[in-house]
Amino acid sequence: MTYNTIFAVLPRGKADSVMEAAKKAGAPGGTIFFARGTGAHEAKTFFGLTIETAKEVLMIVTKDEDTDRILETVIEAGRLTEPAAGIAFVVRGVDVYGLYERGKPVHPHGKRE
């Protein structure tokens, strides 16, 4: 079985609601971690002080046949078609270790113990 990883870089505070929408679309779960941008347009000023724009990164490992449906849901729930709302991308064909399906470990290329 082929697995893909969906990544969504979102403004701080949005990843939980996007993950809930992804679960309704069939995502088995995900991981949220905190980040900050380093691009030229990331730093903003407020009364002369530089403020870093905090981000959350949502990572979802999904079966190949579920990826596009879940990605579309992530884009919609995160409003990623709007300017400065974040980005999403997919890394396709990843090897997965530590994932269990029906109580059995799933290994790369569909091998199961």
Q: Where do the domains of the chain lie, and which CATH numbers do they carry? A: 3-110 (3.30.70.120)
- Side-chain-side CA neighbours of 30 within 13 Å: the count stands at 29
Q: How many CB atoms lie within 10 A of CB 25?
A: 18
pTM: 0.82
In this predicted structure, what is the pLDDT of residue 39? 63
**DSSP 8-state assignment for residue 51:** E
pLDDT along the chain (113 residues), means of 10: 93 96 96 82 60 85 96 98 92 84 68 49
Contact 93, 1 (CB under 8 A): no
Strands ordered across the beta sheet of 87-94: 31-36, 54-63, 3-11, 87-94
Contact 105, 112 (CB under 8 A): yes
In this predicted structure, what is the pLDDT of residue 2? 86
In this predicted structure, what is the pLDDT of residue 94? 83
In this predicted structure, what is the pLDDT of residue 40? 54
In this predicted structure, what is the pLDDT of residue 105? 75
- Side-chain-side CA neighbours of 9 within 13 Å: the count stands at 13
The angle subtended at Cα 43 by Cα 13 and Cα 54, nearest 5°, is 20
Spatial separation of the C-alpha atoms in residues 71 and 27, rounded to whole Å: 10
In this predicted structure, what is the pLDDT of residue 109? 56
